[in-house]
Amino acid sequence: MGCNRVQAKDSASVFAEYNRDLVRQVMRNNAMLPGKIKTAAKNKDFYGAAFALIDMAHGMYKIKDFTPRKGYPSRWTDAIERFIDTALMGIGACGEKDIDGLNKAIAGLVALNREGHRTFR
Ligand code: HEM
């Protein structure tokens, strides 16, 4: 379809109520994964890196339509979609055994983490 992003929501979409327990569970899982991805990258364990990346993306997908406690809902969804897209680019790099591409994706996720916390936390 020529669409290289997770589909954006249209303005008529309804946002879900914030589930704080789920957000914190997803975030705590997130917190373990960048270390795992970096170790996997260092060991050229592309399967392990890809698995950790999809684990992160999967968690974030579950919370992407929540109304954040702080910040705009549409921005929240957009930030999380960019996060998921970046994880998917990292997985693509794993398929190519492309260490530079994988490291670039990791750096992107770290930057999105900072942006996300600054804006919504
Ligand atoms: C590598 C990526 C990320 C990591 C490692 C991470 C890690 C964490 C951790 C450890 C917490 C505290 C959880 C707790 O209270 O036990 C947290 C909270 C939070 N994070 Fe993240 N985060 C990441 C990305 C993001 C992104 C992209 C967003 C938003 C778009 C975000 C939004 C939040 C919010 C809103 C909270 C507060 C949750 C609450 O108490 O209601 N985080 N994060």
Look at residue 16 and give its three-state secondary structure. Answer: strand
**Residue 85 Cα, ligand 1 centroid: separation in angstroms?**
17
**109 in a structural domain:** yes
**22 in a structural domain:** no
**29 in a structural domain:** no
What is the tally of structural domains in the chain? Answer: 1
**55 in a structural domain:** yes
Contact call for residues 107 and 81 (beta carbons, < 8 A): no
Q: Is-above-0.95 flag for pTM? A: no
| pLDDT, tens only, 55-104 | 999 999 999 999 999 999 999 999 999 999 999 999 999 999 999 999 99
**19 in a structural domain:** no
**47 in a structural domain:** yes
Atom 13 (ligand 1): residue with closest C-alpha? 24
Query: What is the extent of the structural domain holding 65?
Result: 41-120
**Residue 1 Cα, ligand 1 centroid: separation in angstroms?**
32
**93 in a structural domain:** yes
Q: Report CA Rg, the chain.
A: 14
**61 in a structural domain:** yes
